A and B are shown apart, each in its own frame.
Chain A
Amino acid sequence: MTIDSIIQALGARIINIEDPKREITAGYCGDFLSNVISKAPADSVWFTVMNNQNVAAVQTLADIALTVICEGVEPDATLAARVKERGLNMIVTDLGVYEAVRKI
C-alpha cells in the first residue's frame, strides 16, 4: 500500500506530501510519544490526534512514512511548518482513529 492510496481511501486533506509512492509496510495508533517512537515500525503509517511540533520530531526519528491526524484535528502552525521544512508526509482526516484504520 502506498501513501497516495491511503490519501484516497481516507479522502484526507494534505498538509505535506513529499513521496506519494512510498510504500507503507506497517501501522501504529497512539498519542503517547514515547510509545509511538519505540513501537511504530519504520515505514509505517501512524494514526494520532496529537497536533504539536513534537509529532514531527517523533515521525523523523522513528522513520514513520506517513502521519494521519484524525478527528479533523489540524496540526498547529509550528507543526505544519516543521513538516514542510523536514519533507515529512502528513495528512488530516475527519474520521476517528478506528474508522480511519478500518478504511485501510
Chain B
Amino acid sequence: MTALHLEFDVAGNNFVSAGSASDEVKKTLKMLGVDPAFVRKVAIAMYEGEINMVIHAGGGKAVVDIFPDRIVIVLEDHGPGIPDIELAMKDGYSTAPDAVRDLGFGAGMGLPNMKKYTDSMNIESTVGEGTTVTMVVNFAR
C-alpha cells in the first residue's frame, strides 16, 4: 500500500500560522480512523517540532508519510543548527529568547516532548547549516 504523503512549509517567526501543519496532520489521521491516543502523540510531537522551527530556525519544511501502521515525520530546516544535541535534549534546557517565553514557550520541554511521544526520534544537525529531525509513531500496539 502506498503511503499518504503530505508536505508543509512552516513559516519562521510566524506564531499566527504556527501549529497549522500539525493541525492538518491531526485532522487527516482522525479522518483515517487512527486511534485517538496515537493521534494525540503525533499532534504533540509535531507541534513541538513545528514550534522549534518557528522559534529557532526561521521556519522550515515538514514532510509527513502516513502508512497503515505508522507515521513518519521529517522536519527539515536551514537554521543555525544545534551545537550540543545532548544538552538540548535535557528537560528544562532552553535557548528561546524572552519574547518567546512571554508567549508561553521556552520551557525547555520541546525536544523532550518530541522524544517522549514518538517511538523513535533522530536528530541530525550541523551548526550553520541546519537540522533535520525524523520522528516515527507506530500505530500498532
Chain B contacts to A: CB under 8 angstroms: 15-16, 18-20, 22-23, 26, 36, 40, 43-44, 47-48, 103-107, 109-110, 113, 116-117
Asked whether A34 and B48 contact (CB < 8 A) given A52-B103, A53-B15, A63-B40, the answer is yes
Instruction: Judge whether B110 and A34 touch: CB under 8 Å.
Output: yes
Q: Which residues of chain A in 57-74 are interfacial with respect to chain B, using CB atoms and an 8 Å cutoff? A: 57-58, 60-63
A-B pairs with beta carbons under 8 Å apart, 22 shown: A31-B104, A32-B104, A32-B109, A34-B107, A38-B44, A38-B113, A38-B116, A42-B36, A50-B104, A52-B103, A53-B16, A54-B19, A54-B103, A54-B104, A54-B105, A57-B19, A57-B20, A57-B23, A61-B43, A61-B44, A63-B40, A78-B16
- Identify 12 new A-B residue pairs, CB closer than 8 A, beyond the known A33-B104, A52-B104: A32-B106, A32-B109, A34-B105, A34-B113, A38-B109, A54-B18, A54-B19, A57-B20, A58-B19, A60-B19, A61-B44, A63-B36
Interface size class of A (residues with CB under 8 A): 20 to 34
A17 at the interface (CB under 8 A from B): no
Number of A-B contacts (CB under 8 A): 69
